[in-house]
């Protein structure tokens, strides 16, 4: 399909950047440590034992049990929150679904109804089954850098990604905008570009950032003929992209 013609470019990007000697892209593999959460069942058992041995009346015992549950339950709920729950602080807006990858540490919104598909070289892809150029994808590669700004300015990073990885070589590309945004102390680069193929033109948005020893790239777009209708929805997708620690 037309929307997936650039998927091989992502695959080449991963292979290329892993071996790239350019100092600007000083990349190396990093492991990801699993996250362990402590259980609190022993607290509940201890409380039950205390209640069982109590000699107070049944009514007092019942009240005490209710108080214990009221104290312990919020504590357990708070401590057992996953990193993803700290990222999405509210329910998704109408007509959007949310993808949260707790293993790889990122989340984003996508239009309700888009279907997940498997594309080699990309971590996640969702697309509209009727309009194949309308899609969102996430790709990530290891890096030793700590901040997206270590790779250069928004314009420089966007130029490299678009020219070499986000569009096939036979397409004419043009950057519309590129900017830096700070979200909760983390820098993100966002950009808008157009890629013109012989039989169609795709208008796209991208967001990149660095975290967890990885360089993350999210791209979304639509056919140029539907851009005016889709641009606000796709902007919501890009602005929703967040990285959290894992």
| pLDDT, tens only, 93-124 | 889 999 999 999 999 999 999 999 999 999 99
What are 214-241's pLDDT values in tens digits? 999 999 999 999 999 999 999 999 999 9
Q: Is the pLDDT of residue 6 over 50?
A: no
Q: What percent of the chain has pLDDT over 90?
A: 61
Alpha-carbon torsion (163, 166, 169, 172), positive or negative: negative
Q: Is 222 exposed, middle or buried (0-12, 13-18, 19+ CB in 10 A)?
A: buried
pLDDT at 91: 77
Give the pLDDT score at 93: 86
pLDDT of residue 109: 98
pTM above 0.85, yes or no: no
Q: Selecting from 3.40.1000.10, 3.30.360.10, 2.40.110.10, 3.30.565.10, what CATH number does the domain 2-25+84-243 have?
A: 3.40.1000.10
- Distance, in Å, from the CA atom of 157 to the CA atom of 148, rounded to the nearest integer, reads 9
Which of the four pLDDT bands, split at 50, 70 and 90, describes residue 62? very low
Across all residues in the chain, what is the average pLDDT?
75
Per-residue pLDDT tens for 139-183? 999 999 999 999 999 999 999 999 999 999 999 999 999 999 999
Whole-number pLDDT of residue 1: 43
Q: Which of 10-24, 37-51, 130-144, 203-217 has the lowest mean pLDDT?
A: 37-51
pLDDT at 90: 55
- Return the closest-CA partner of residue 194 out of 220, 164, 221, 173: 173
Q: 18-38 burial string, b = 16+ CB within 10 Å, else e?
A: eeeeeeebebeeeeeeeeeee
**CA–CA separation, 203 vs 230, rounded Å?**
10
Listed as own residue / partner, the contacts of 169-174 with beta carbons closer than 8 Å and 24 or more positions apart are 170/197, 170/198, 171/195, 171/196, 171/197, 172/196
Asked whether residue 60 carries a pLDDT value surpassing 60, the answer given is no
Going by C-beta distance under 8 Å and a sequence separation of 6 or more, which residues neighbour residue 178? 153, 154, 155, 157, 158, 189, 190, 191, 192
Looking at residue 92, its pLDDT comes to: 80
Confidence of residue 15 (pLDDT cuts 50, 70, 90): very low
Which string of DSSP letters, residue by residue, matches 107-136?
EEEEETT-EE---TT-SEEEE-SSSTT-EE
């Amino acid at each position: 399909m037309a929307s997936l013609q650039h998927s091989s470019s992502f695959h080449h990007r991963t292979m290329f950047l892993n071996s790239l000697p350019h100092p600007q892209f000083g990349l190396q593999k990093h492991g990801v440590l699993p996250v362990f959460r402590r259980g609190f069942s022993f607290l509940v058992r201890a409380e039950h034992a205390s209640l069982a041995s109590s000699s107070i009346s049944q009514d007092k015992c019942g009240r005490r049990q209710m108080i214990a549950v009221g104290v312990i339950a919020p504590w357990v709920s708070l401590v057992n929150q996953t990193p993803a729950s700290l990222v999405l602080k509210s329910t998704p807006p109408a007509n959007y679904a949310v993808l949260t990858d707790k293993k790889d540490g990122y989340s984003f919104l996508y239009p309700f109804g888009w279907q997940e598909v498997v594309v080699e070289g990309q971590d996640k892809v969702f697309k509209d089954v009727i309009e194949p150029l309308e899609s969102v994808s996430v790709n990530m590669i290891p890096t030793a850098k700590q901040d997206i700004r270590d790779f250069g300015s928004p314009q420089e990073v966007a130029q490299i990604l678009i020219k070499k990885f986000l569009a096939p070589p036979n397409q004419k590309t043009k950057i519309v905008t590129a900017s830096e945004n700070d979200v909760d102390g983390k820098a993100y680069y966002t950009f808008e570009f157009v890629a013109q193929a012989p039989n169609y033109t795709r208008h796209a948005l991208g967001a990149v950032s660095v975290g967890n020893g990885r360089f993350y790239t999210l791209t979304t777009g639509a056919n140029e003929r539907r851009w005016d209708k889709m641009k606000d929805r796709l902007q919501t997708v890009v602005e929703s992209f967040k990285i959290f620690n894992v």
